[in-house]
Structure 1
Amino acid sequence: MAFWIIVAALAIGVGAILGLTLMRGRVGEAPPAAYDLDVYRDQLREIDRDLKRGVLEAEDAERLRAEISRKILAADAQLRAGGESGGQPKALGIVMAGVVVALVTGGGVLLYSQIGAPGYGDLPMATRIANSEAARAERLDQEAAEARFAPQDTGLPDGTSDDYMALVERLRETVAERPNDQQGLRFLVRSEAALGNMEAARTAQAQLIEVKGEAATAEDYATLAELMINATSGYVSRDAEAALRDALDRDPRAPTARFYLGLYMTQIDRPDTAFRLWRDLLEESTPDAPWVPPIRAGIEELAARAGERYELPSQAGAPGPSAGDIEAAGEMDPEARQEMIRGMVAGLASRLADEGGTAEDWARLINAYGVLGETDRARRIWTEAQAVFADFPRRLATVRAAAENAGVAE
C-alpha cells in the first residue's frame, strides 16, 4: 500500500506542476514575450559590437537593426496584450491541466498494471535465491511426480501390431529371467519408450545403469533423466535432477543433460542459470539438434527474466558437407565423388561469405577443406573465423577444434 501512495503522490505532483505551467502560460517568472524582448535587445547590442570591430558594414548593420526592431515591437505588443498570463486562455489552461494530470496518473497506473506486478513485494536477489532453494527442497520425487503429472493413457501408438506386442512381451520375460543382460535391457528401454510406457522404460534404464555400475556413461544417466521427465509430462523431479547431475559429473558438456538442467532451473525460478546453460548450448549446437527448437522458442523470454540483453542468432541455412557426408560418397567413382564434394563445399563457402553462419558452419567448412587436402583454403577460413568470432570465445573454441583437426591452427 505504501508503494501505491508514493507513486500516486509523485504522479499527482508531476501532473500538478505541468498543469500550473499551462494555466500560468509561462515557465519562469516572466511571460514568453518578455524573454523574446531580452533576446532581441542582446542582438542589437551584438550588432553594435560587430560594427565597431569591422565585422559588419554600416549598411548591413542598419538593415539588421530595422529587422530586429520590428521583432521588438511585435514582442512588446504581445506582452501588453497577454499580460501576466502570456495570453493563455484561462479556461483552456484549466482543461489542459486536468488532461495532463489524468494522463500522468491514469497512464502510469495503466502502464504498471500491464508490465509491472501489482500486489507483489520487492524480490531482491538474495530473496529469490532463497525462494529457489526452498522450491528445490520441496521438489517431488519421481514416484510422487508420476502420480501427479503422468500423461493420460491414450492406448497403444497407431500402427502397433499384435506381432510387435508379442515380441515386446517376450523381451520382458527374457529380461526378467536374465536381469543382468545389458543388450536385452537396452532393447527393453527402447521398446517401452516407443509404446509410451515411460515409467517402465525409466525403470529398465535404471536397472541398466545399476548393471553397468562404474561403466555407466553420461549418456546413460542423461537418458534416464529424459525418460523420467517424459514420464511426468515435463516436470523435473528430484530424482531426475540427480540423474542430470550424475550425467554432468561424467561429461560436463553432455548436451541433453544441459538442456534438461536448464529446464529444471526455469522450474525452480533460476532464469539466470537457465539462460547461461541454454545460451552456451545453443551456440555450440548444430541447427538440426533436437534441443535447438525449444531453446530458440524460449530463450529470449528467459533472457528478459534473467535481466540479460540477448539477441537470438539467425537460423543457419542448409548445412554444408560434414566429414560423414564426404565419407558416404566413397562408393562413387573418384571423379564424380570429387565433383560432388567440391560442389557442396563451394555452396557452403558462398553462403558463409554472403550471409554468415554459425560457428558449426565455419567448423564444417574447415573440416571439409581439410579432408580435401586444401590446407591453404582451410587456413584462410580459420583466419577469417578468428576475426568473426573474436568477441565470442565459446564459438571460437568450436571453430578452433576444427582447425586443429585440419592441422591449420597456430
Structure 2
Amino acid sequence: MPFTVLTILAALLVAAFLGYTMLRGRRSDEPTAAYDLRVYREQLAGVDRDLARGVIGQADAERVRTEISRRILAADTQMRGEKAQSGPSSVTSAVAVIAVALVLIGGAWLMYHRIGAAGFPDMPLSERLELAEELRVNRPSQAAAEEQTTPVQPPKLEESYAQLLQKLRDTVAQRPDDLQGHILLAQHETNAGNFKAGYEAQRRVIELSGSEASAEAYSNLAEMMILAAGGYVSPEAEEALRQALERSPDLGPARYYWGQMLAQTGRPDIAYRVWLDTLRSAPAGAPWADAIRSQMDDLAFRAGVFNPPQLPVASPGPTQEDMEAASELTAEERQDMIRGMVNQLSDRLATEGGSPEEWARLIAALGVLGDKERAIGIRDEALSVFAGNDNALQMIAAAAQQAGIAQ
C-alpha cells in the first residue's frame, strides 16, 4: 500500500477518535444534578419508612423532610441550568469534527510534501545499495565537475612572489624531468589557488617517482583535484585516494577525503564508520581532524546514528616529525624550540585549564629551562586550582621538587 494512503488513513483514524471524544464529552446522557435528584428522592422515601417503624419522631421527620425538599428544589434548578447549557448543537459539533479532520489530513499531506519524498515508492535496502553503487560509478568525471564548478578566484599575490612563481614555471618547463622542481611547482600553484595547475604538476611528480611514489604524493594529488572541483570527489580523485590508502591505510588526509567520497555517493553509514575510526587515532591539531569533527554530527544524522560517542580531543604536543626535526637542531635551537612549546602549553593552561599531569609537566619543564621564578608562580597557581585534590597536589609537589623549587 502506498505510503500516502497510509498517511491519510492514519490521519482519518486520529480524527475519528478526536471527533468521538468531542461529541461524547459535549453531550452527556444526563445532567450532573440528575443523580443528586434521585438520591434526595430516595432519602425522602426513607424518612417515611423510618417514621412508620418508629425510628424517628414526627417533629424530626418534618424537619428532615423540609431539608431534603430544599435540596431537591436546588438540584432541580441546577439541572434546568445544565440543560440550557448542555453544549453546541449537533450541526456545530459535526462541523467542528470535519474541521479537525481537514486540519489533520491537510497538515499531514502538506508536511509530507515539504519534507518527505512524494511520488517515490518504498525502496528496499538492496535497491538503495544498488542505487548508491550506480551513483558512484556513473558520477561526473573530474573535467566535467571542473566545468560545472564556479572557478575559485585566486588570491592576489605579492609582486615578488608572483615573479618567483613564474620563474619556477619557466624553469620546470625547461627541465620536465626535474622531480624536485615539480614538487615545488605543485605546492606553490596550490598555495596560489591554481588547483588545476597544482594537480597537473603533482601528476608529473608521481610519474617521475614511478613505483617509489609515496602515499602522501597520491593523497596530495587527490586533495588538489578535489579543491579544483569545488569539494567534489571525482572518480579520478577516488583512484588517487585508493592508491594512497593501499600504501598507507592509516593516512589521515586520505581517509578524510575517502569518507567524503562515500558520503557524496549515498553511503553515509560507511563514511561515518571511516571517520569515527580516523578520529580515534587523529593527532592533535590536524586540520583534517578538525574538518571531520565539524561535519560529524550531520553525517551521524544521515547515517541514522542518533547517539554518537563523544571522542576526546587530543591535547597538543610534539609529533614524531617534531622530535626528528629537533634532533637535527643545534643546542641553542633546541632550547628555543622547547621554550616555544612550553609557552604554548602555559598559554593553553591559562585560558582553557588542563589536567594535573599537564601542570606538573609545565612546572618541571620551566625548572629545566632555569626559569625558577616563573615555575614558582605556576606552582602556586596549580596549588590553588587543585586545592583539596590530594593526588593532584602530590603530582604538583613532585614536579616542584624536580624543578628545584620545593617549599
Q: TM-score range by the shorter chain?
A: 0.5 to 0.7
Cα-to-partner distance string for 1:141-187 (whole Å, 9 max, x where unaligned)? 334444x24553757733244632442233323432xx1x3222211
Match for residue 261 of structure 1 among 258, 263, 266: 258
Matched, 1:200 2:197: yes
Separation in 2, partners of 1:251, 1:333: 30
CA 342–254 in structure 1, closer or farther in 2 if over 3 Å, else same: closer
* 1:252 equivalent in structure 2: 249
CA 169–212 in structure 1, closer or farther in 2 if over 3 Å, else same: closer
Separation in 1, partners of 2:316, 2:149: 41
| Cα pair 2:255 2:278 within 8 Å, conserved | yes
Deviation of the 1:202 alpha carbon: 1.5
Q: Structure 2: state its 5+ residue gaps.
A: 40-72, 327-331, 368-407
Match for residue 331 of structure 1 among 335, 340, 347: 335
CA 219–74 in structure 1, closer or farther in 2 if over 3 Å, else same: farther
* 1:128 equivalent in structure 2: 128
Matched, 1:241 2:235: no
| Cα pair 1:345 1:365 within 8 Å, conserved | no
* 1:4 equivalent in structure 2: 4
Matched, 1:278 2:281: no
Deviation of the 1:267 alpha carbon: 1.7
Structure of greater Rg = 2
TM-score using structure 1 length? 0.62
CA 25–311 in structure 1, closer or farther in 2 if over 3 Å, else same: same
Q: Say which SS state the counterpart of residue 3 (structure 2) adopts.
A: helix
Cα-to-partner distance string for 1:192-226 (whole Å, 9 max, x where unaligned)? 22333323322221222222233222111100111
* 2:21 equivalent in structure 1: 21
Q: Structure 1: state its 5+ residue gaps.
A: 41-72, 354-361, 374-410
Deviation of the 1:306 alpha carbon: 1.2
CA 341–247 in structure 1, closer or farther in 2 if over 3 Å, else same: closer
CA 185–368 in structure 1, closer or farther in 2 if over 3 Å, else same: farther
Deviation of the 1:79 alpha carbon: 8.4
Separation in 1, partners of 2:341, 2:155: 48
Cα-to-partner distance string for 1:281-336 (whole Å, 9 max, x where unaligned)? 3444356322245434433222222111145859969x5554759x79842699x8
Matched, 1:221 2:225: no
Separation in 1, partners of 2:128, 2:361: 45
CA 79–137 in structure 1, closer or farther in 2 if over 3 Å, else same: farther
Paired residues, what number? 328
Separation in 2, partners of 1:155, 1:347: 38
Match for residue 184 of structure 1 among 175, 181, 184: 181
Deviation of the 1:279 alpha carbon: 3.0
Q: 1:79-158 residue pairs with structure 2 within 5 A? A: 87-90=86-89, 93-146=93-146, 148-149=147-148, 151-152=150-151, 154=153, 157-158=156-157
Deviation of the 1:127 alpha carbon: 1.4
| Cα pair 2:284 2:316 within 8 Å, conserved | no
Indicate the percent of aligned positions where both proteins have the same amino acid: 32
* 1:379 equivalent in structure 2: none
Separation in 2, partners of 1:100, 1:155: 58
Separation in 2, partners of 1:225, 1:79: 85
Cα-to-partner distance string for 1:248-276 (whole Å, 9 max, x where unaligned)? 11111111111111111122111111222
Amino acid at match of 2:222: A
Deviation of the 1:228 alpha carbon: 1.4
Separation in 1, partners of 2:297, 2:304: 11
Separation in 1, partners of 2:140, 2:229: 11
Q: Say which SS state the counterpart of residue 351 (structure 1) adopts.
A: coil
| Cα pair 2:342 2:366 within 8 Å, conserved | no
| Cα pair 2:169 2:185 within 8 Å, conserved | no
TM-score using structure 2 length? 0.63
* 1:392 equivalent in structure 2: none
Amino acid at match of 1:6: L
Match for residue 299 of structure 1 among 296, 301, 309: 296
Pairwise CA RMSD of aligned residues? 4.9
Amino acid at match of 2:354: R
